[in-house]
Amino acid sequence: MALKQDLTSITTAAESHILSYCADITSSTFTTSTERAAKLATYYLPTISLFAGGPPTQLSDPSLFIQLISGPLDKVEGLALEVIGHRVEAVAENSAIIWLSLRVDNKVEVSNLYFFRKGEDGEAGFEGGIFDGEAWLLKQLGLA
């Protein structure tokens, strides 16, 4: 017999997190991709596992997150970025998976998968994800 878990709290936290992230990824208030990347980096926990084009990499230096995020943003800067959807699926009381779909320049759609975790200390954020979407997007736009 499996234990029944209440997934309401993690679903609510993950939903709130991705909605705020979506607002910042598409906001017009940032003047550079580095500024936007610095804000987006705050959505991640201090240690993340990154899956992109090979074996997983674990990063424990949040200053590296800014570089990681700003690279693709630099290449698509000036192109229209639109959130076209997201999905949150709770997998345990403190873990959820989030799919985020974006449209770039009104023509190319891309999605990424994020792992969301809520810690016992109350800290919550992306613990990692599969980020092949950026590489694929840049190739589609001829920017890779």
Helix (H, G, I), strand (E, B) or coil at 30: coil
List of E strands, 2-138 = 44-51, 57-59, 81-92, 95-104, 108-118, 124-130
How does DSSP classify residue 106? Answer: T
- What averages of pLDDT result for each successive group of 10 residues across the chain (144 residues)? 80 97 94 92 91 80 87 82 95 95 88 91 87 75 75
Pair 80, 106: CB distance under 8 Å: yes
Strands 57-59 and 44-51 come out as antiparallel
Q: Give pTM, 2 decimals.
A: 0.88
pLDDT at position 95, please?
95
Q: Over the range 83-102, which residues count as b (16 or more CB within 10 Å of their CB) and which as e?
A: beebebebeeebbbbbbbeb
* 60, two tokens: 């424990």
Q: Which CATH architecture has domain 8-140?
A: Roll (3.10)
**Helices and strands in the chain, H and E counts:** 4, 6
